């Protein structure tokens, strides 16, 4: 799964990297993004633009924002047929900018140690995501999202059996485009040789801790 991630790049860097419009948005860096918090997503209508979403997917047909389960992840193997995600998979895919993510490794004693995982050569990358817009009681809309996961590559498999889908930069347009037949080929584990991981402080366990210390190796 992917239950915590990092986005440290500033707004202008994100907009430039994804060739997107952001209006007057200014997104604060976060070293410990947790479920229910606001995340940045890149979506495409007539052009790419930045959208702020609550992390925890609510399907558009839900009666209210607190109804039912609000999954933070969607499994790549079933999103095309899962009732909650199938419409978003067809029409509302997004890119979720990130600089890394956390997973927890269980040691021989049973104690879990947080691990920070990032790409070796790219500081900023994108998770494959889905988003939806939900109308609440006062008639306003709230956007929510989920990160798509797939089976772990060889490196991450030693930590967890799932990992987020990372979209290669050259495939951003394909992921946000209309060629549905091409999408399954993008939902694969990112190659382990292009990633690195190291143990970090237990302070990551609390989302209240949100500073650069969270990603310092120990």
Strand partners, 39: 53
DSSP state of 8: -
Catalytic, out of 17, 103, 145, 214: 103
> Do residues 163 and 152 lie in contact, with contact meaning Cβ atoms separated by under 8 Å?
yes
Query: Tokens for 9?
Result: 């790049």
Catalytic, out of 2, 53, 94, 145: 2
Query: Tokens for 174?
Result: 């394909």
What span, in angstroms and rounded, lies between the C-alpha atoms of 111 and 125?
30
R_g of the chain computed on alpha carbons: 17
33: Cα separation from own chain's centroid: 10
Q: Which residues of 120-141 are buried (b: 16+ CB within 10 A; e: fewer)?
A: eeeebbbbbbbbbebeeeeeee
218: CB partners within 8 A, 6+ apart: 198, 199, 200, 201
* Catalytic residue check, 2: yes
What span, in angstroms and rounded, lies between the C-alpha atoms of 50 and 64?
24
* Catalytic residue check, 94: no
The SS3 assignment for 88 reads: helix
Active site residues: 2, 103
């Amino acid at each position: 799964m992917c239950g915590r991630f990092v986005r440290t790049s500033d707004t202008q860097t994100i907009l430039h990297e994804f060739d997107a419009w952001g209006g007057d948005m200014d997104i604060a860096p976060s070293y410990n993004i947790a479920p229910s918090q606001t995340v940045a997503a890149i979506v495409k209508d007539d052009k790419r633009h930045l959208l702020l979403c609550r992390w925890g997917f609510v399907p558009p047909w839900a009666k209210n924002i607190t109804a039912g389960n609000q999954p933070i992840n969607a499994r790549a193997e079933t999103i095309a047929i899962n009732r909650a995600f199938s419409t978003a998979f067809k029409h509302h895919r997004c890119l979720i900018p990130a600089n890394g993510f956390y997973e927890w490794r269980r040691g021989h004693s049973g104690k879990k140690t947080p691990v920070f995982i990032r790409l070796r050569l790219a500081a900023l990358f994108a998770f494959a995501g889905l988003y939806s817009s939900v109308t609440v009681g006062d008639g306003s809309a709230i956007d929510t999202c989920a990160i798509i996961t797939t089976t772990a590559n060889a490196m991450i498999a030693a930590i967890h059996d799932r990992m987020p889908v990372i979209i290669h930069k050259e495939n951003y347009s394909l992921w946000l485009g209309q060629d549905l037949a091409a999408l399954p080929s993008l939902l694969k584990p990112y190659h382990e040789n292009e990633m690195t991981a190291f143990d970090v402080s237990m302070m990551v366990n609390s989302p209240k801790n949100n500073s650069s210390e969270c990603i310092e190796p120990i």
